[in-house]
């Protein structure tokens, strides 16, 4: 019995030593991972730029089946465009009305009344509709795209598509980008019209402006290039919102918590890039 007891003791000691070695190895790996993470943190921007470029290279390819692709685009147009009509219309109407009232309060009787119509037109066309509406859509549409793709990633639906030989990035993301490029400019034009119309209605109904004065302000010093500038910005913003949101959702890893984080990052990065692009495009087109 003594030899057996000694063998058991030696086996127990060996198991304990093995566990200690594994714990030491695990701790060493964690320390190494932290050191690598700290070292690569400054390179994170270049990593994401490279991966985003590669991601777009996979997205911007010819679809395999045209009929399936068209059906997906129509479905995304409904999700991005039709389902966003309500929030866009509501915000545009109230913003046009508020701009009218604020302008009437500021001019105070010593500036021509037609300035109200001029200010409402310029504000809606140049900045509110082409910039703030895409920012709002980045929260609504962008988070939806990121959460949808993130959920597909963590539930291995994207992996299943790739196993079947389907270009998952092209199949899932390109219809969203084309739908955004088609629908968001339309929503912005609708926003312009509703905002200006609401401003006129509020101005006339409150007595701060007549219809003739408001119409004259809308027509005076009008430059058609302002509308072109607004639509160019909108198209760029639509591509930023759809592609950045899809990028963050597509590369989600983990579980439900990470899906929520990807959605948040998608909205934040999309809004920041929209603001940066707004500054650059304004300088290029109007500077």
SS3 155: coil
CB 281 within 8 A of CB 232: yes
Query: Nearest 5°: CA angle at 179, between 246 and 254?
Result: 20
Query: Nearest 5°: CA angle at 11, between 7 and 16?
Result: 150
Ordered by start, the domain boundaries in the chain are 1-38, 65-286
How far apart are the C-alpha atoms of 217 and 260, rounded to whole Å? 47
How far apart are the C-alpha atoms of 161 and 76, rounded to whole Å? 19
In tens, the pLDDT along 97-148 reads 999 999 988 887 678 888 999 999 999 999 999 999 999 999 999 999 999 9
Q: What is the pTM of this model?
A: 0.82
CB-count burial class (<10 Å; 0-12, 13-18, 19+) for 99: buried
How far apart are the C-alpha atoms of 116 and 246, rounded to whole Å? 41
Classify 109 in phi/psi space as left (phi over 0), alpha (psi -120 to 50) or beta. Answer: left
Q: Which of residues 201 and 287 earns the better pLDDT score?
A: 201
**Residue 20 in tokens:** 């200690």
What's the confidence (pLDDT) of residue 23?
55
Residue 27 has pLDDT above 60, yes or no: no
Percentage of residues of the chain with pLDDT beyond 90: 60
């Amino acid at each position: 019995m003594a030899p057996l007891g000694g063998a058991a003791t030696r086996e127990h000691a060996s198991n304990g030593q093995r566990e200690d070695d594994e714990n030491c190895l695990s701790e060493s790996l964690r320390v190494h991972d932290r050191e690598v993470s700290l070292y690569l943190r400054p390179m994170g921007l270049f990593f994401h730029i490279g991966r985003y470029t590669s991601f777009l290279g996979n997205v911007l390819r010819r679809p395999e089946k045209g009929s399936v692709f068209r059906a997906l685009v129509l479905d995304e147009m409904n999700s991005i465009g039709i389902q966003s009509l309500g929030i866009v219309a509501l915000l545009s109407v109230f913003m046009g009305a508020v701009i009218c009232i604020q302008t009437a309060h500021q001019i105070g009787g010593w500036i021509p009344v037609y300035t109200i119509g001029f200010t409402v037109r310029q504000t809606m066309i140049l900045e509110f509709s082409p910039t703030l509406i895409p920012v709002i859509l980045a929260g609504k549409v962008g988070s939806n795209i990121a959460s949808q793709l993130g959920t597909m990633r963590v539930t291995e639906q994207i992996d299943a598509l790739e196993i079947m030989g389907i270009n998952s990035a092209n199949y899932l993301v390109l219809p969203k980008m084309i739908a955004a490029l088609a629908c968001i400019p339309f929503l912005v034009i609708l926003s312009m019209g509703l905002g200006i119309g609401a401003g006129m209605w509020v101005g006339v109904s409150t007595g701060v402006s007549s219809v003739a004065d408001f119409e004259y302000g809308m027509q005076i010093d009008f430059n058609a290039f302002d509308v072109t500038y607004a639509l160019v910005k909108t198209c760029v913003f639509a591509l930023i919102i759809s592609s950045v949101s899809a990028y963050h959702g597509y590369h989600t890893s983990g579980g439900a918590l990470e899906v929520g984080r990807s959605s948040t990052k998608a909205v934040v990065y999309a809004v920041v890039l929209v603001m940066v692009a707004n500054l650059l495009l304004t300088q290029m087109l109007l500077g």
